[in-house]
Amino acid sequence: MTPPAPGCSAPRRDAVVAAARESIAKGSKSFAAASKLFDPTTRERAWLLYAWCRACDDIADGQEHGHDASVVADPAAALARIRTLTDRALAGEWTGEMPFDALRIVAQETRMPHRFAHDLIEGFALDAKGWFPRSESDLMQYCYHVAGAVGCMMAVVMGVDPQDDATLDRACDLGLAFQLANIARDIEADDRIGRCYLPMDWMVEMDIPPGQHMKPPFRARLTVMARWLGEFAQAHEESARHGTPALGFRSAWAVLAAAGIYGGIAREVVARGNHGWDHRASTSKAQKLGWIARAFAQSAMRRRLYPPEPRPATLWTRPR
């Protein structure tokens, strides 16, 4: 699809917000539930940012609202489209495409650093060239690009100073935790489209031949690697919680709810053991409500529950 020529007329903000709200409702029930806890302004900006992220992911993966990923016929063309429309939006142009106009709005309203958007696109670039991780460090670098950078952008949406690296590191941690949970949940789905985010070092350690990790003889070993992903996710989730005292009550409530809801996905995969991929792991409506209630109490007590302390030196740290 050829992007429209520059000079598109400005859309109504409320129309873009309405479309962004529909995008998050279709794309992620977990994030949609957590977003309702924000104050109205932050909520709308979170929807706008989500709409852009969702559209980029859908273009890159040949899917719709995060579902039914397929092999993209021309990954380079898809990536070029993402870059072109994103650059135009960040330059202050109206693109005529709702998700990218949503990015234009939220970037200008929050003075969001453009580097985070570019960092996210680099994650799609890795996928476009058929990249796979050789080491844990490679895995974490990828997780930063596709999710940690989004955590940093969301922190700015919630009012965090773009120069506050300590809080941005904690926000990045939550994005890393979410992506590690995604990888654990989607091992089978990724395998179907020829992708694997399990580090080659792990495969060698577990004596699994390349491309064979979903075969029945290796299921018990795959379960071990899923547990490692879950442990990494848990460590980064716990670190992220210590960033919530820097947020207002409602933003902290939303973040803590999302941490619990999404963290539950990785925990469910691990708990299922060899049956972790029989059907897609998710959290029920009752579980979401439970996490929202717990997060309310956690947000009220966040300064006592998550006091200032150095971020664990053992955790992977985002690039500056």
Rounded distance, CA 311 to CA 314, Å?
Answer: 9
Among the listed ranges 42-51, 57-66, 290-299, which one has the minimum average pLDDT value? 57-66
For 160-211, the pLDDT digits (tens) are 999 999 999 999 999 999 999 999 999 999 999 889 999 999 999 999 999 9
Structure tokens at 273: 């053991």
**What's the whole-number average pLDDT of the chain?**
94
Q: Residue 105 class from Cβ within 10 Å (0-12 exposed, 13-18 middle, 19+ buried)?
A: buried
Token pair 């809801």 is at which residue? 261
Q: In which band, very low, low, confident or very high, does the pLDDT at 5 lie, cut at 50, 70 and 90? A: very low
Provide the pLDDT for residue 73: 78
Phi, psi of 67 (to 5 degrees): -120, 150
- For each of the domains in the chain, give its residue range(s) and CATH number, in order of start: 12-129 (no CATH), 132-320 (1.10.600.10)
Rounded distance, CA 27 to CA 52, Å?
Answer: 12
> Whole-prediction pTM value?
0.92
Structure tokens at 265: 């996905």
Provide the pLDDT for residue 63: 67
For 137-161, the pLDDT digits (tens) are 999 999 999 999 999 999 999 999 9
Provide the pLDDT for residue 208: 98
How far from each other are the two terminal CA atoms of the chain, in whole angstroms? 34
Number of neighbours of residue 195 by Cβ within 10 angstroms: 18
* Beta-bridge mates of residue 38: none
Structure tokens at 1: 């699809």
Among the listed ranges 35-39, 60-64, 130-134, which one has the minimum average pLDDT value? 60-64
